Structure 1
Amino acid sequence: MTTIVPRTDVDVRYGEPGATARPWEEAEDALRRAQITWISTVRPDGRPHVTPLLTVWRDGALHFCTGAHERKARNLETNPAVVLTVSSPAGGGLDVVVEGVAERVADDDRLRGLAAAWEADHGPEWRFEVADGAFVDPYGGALVFRVAPVTVFGFARSPASQTRWRFGPA
């Protein structure tokens, strides 16, 4: 698989003098290690909806799962635009905000790989089976979505800086 290299810049208005752009690999690491990710979606009437969930970073994208009847899944039916936010531990690191479009993953082979990733990243209590294009566990089924980054912001605390990574055509 080809690694996508984003266009990177630092916004000097939001950082300490002389702060430089953080490397994309640092943002990827924060996404890979995230314990909790906050997802923001938009309800059909335009109101925001934000909730925490678990994600896995694989193949250049964040993946999340949700029940088909949950609010975020219903929101995605009418507007697939999402924002995913990861915060680093207090006192250091990089807070990361990913803007993108949620696309359903329904291929059972891909889902089996993602199910293994969920268990590897989050432990055996997050073990899923795969059936009929979804995750299945004792509590029911869950749809799986992939969010490839369009624009990502990284907020560093020391030194304070804001880096932007943009993907796709210039």
Structure 2
Amino acid sequence: MDTKNLADLYELPALDWSSVTDRLDAGCDQAPGSGGPDRHTTWLTTIDPDGSPHVTGVGSLWVDGCFWFETGQTTRKGRNLARDPRCTVAIATQEFDLVVEGTVEVVTDRDTVARLAAAWAEGGWPCAVDESGTALTAPFSAPSAGAPPWSVYRVIARSACAVATVAPGGATRWTF
């Protein structure tokens, strides 16, 4: 991992990647009042066919050192990712704002899908593994997720940039 301090101009130290991942490991609940700007929303940016960005909120999880989200493969973001897997994920916490750049992969491993379904259910979204064992279903999801089944996506980070929102401040980019 390469670390670049983006706050040298202000003589601030580089942020520590382990402090970022420790915070993410502690959870970023989307329930109001649970942190962030009243709650944590993860923003996913994909690339439209004409090259323009498409940004949408997703219900993400941070598990095993990476972001995961779900959506229908026929949604705009699902079609964009099938055509071009490059994306960014952004989240604001009390301690920092974070942008992760990378690519996604659709995950169909039954054990992994079941483990993530359990994590989403534990967080309050009553999803379950569908009859195929490789996707999710639930009584509801975000309207932008489309109709079930919903595929599970894992973000494979290429780089990340965090800007501290608490003293002493700082900004750092990591390349993996």
Please state which band the TM-score falls in when normalised by the shorter chain: 0.7 to 0.9
Give the Cα separation in 1 of the matches to 2:66 and 2:87: 13
Relative to its length, the structure with more strand (as a share) is 1
Which one-letter code corresponds to 2:55 in the other structure?
Answer: V
**Superposed, which structure 2 residues align to 1:82-121 within 5 Å?**
82-89=87-94, 93-120=95-122
Q: Check if 1:11 corresponds to 2:6.
A: yes
Identify the match of residue 160 of structure 2 among 152, 155, 161.
152
Q: CA RMSD in A?
A: 1.7
Residue of structure 2 equivalent to 1:129: 129
Percent of aligned positions with the same letter in both sequences? Answer: 35
* More deviation, 27-36/99-108: 27-36
Give the Cα separation in 2 of the matches to 1:108 and 1:131: 11
Q: TM-score, normalised by structure 2?
A: 0.80
Residue of structure 1 equivalent to 2:46: 41
Give the Cα separation in 1 of the matches to 2:126 and 2:157: 24
* Displacement of 1:30: 4.1
Residue of structure 2 equivalent to 1:3: none
- Partner of 2:74, secondary structure, is coil
Residue of structure 1 equivalent to 2:174: 165
Which one-letter code corresponds to 1:137 in the other structure?
Answer: A
Query: Any gaps of 5 or more consecutive residues in structure 2?
Result: 31-40, 141-147
Give the Cα separation in 1 of the matches to 2:66 and 2:108: 15
Verify the 8 A CA contact 2:7 2:14 in the aligned structure 1.
no
Aligned length: 155
Verify the 8 A CA contact 1:30 1:94 in the aligned structure 2.
no
CA 155–164 in structure 1, closer or farther in 2 if over 3 Å, else same: same
Which one-letter code corresponds to 2:139 in the other structure?
Answer: P
Query: Any gaps of 5 or more consecutive residues in structure 1?
Result: 1-5
Identify the match of residue 66 of structure 1 among 71, 89, 97.
71
**Residues 67-116 of structure 1, C-alpha deviations (whole Å, 9 max, x = no match):** 12211001011110000000123xxx111100010101011111001111
- Partner of 1:103, secondary structure, is strand
Verify the 8 A CA contact 2:159 2:173 in the aligned structure 1.
yes
- Partner of 2:149, secondary structure, is strand
Give the Cα separation in 2 of the matches to 1:150 and 1:18: 26
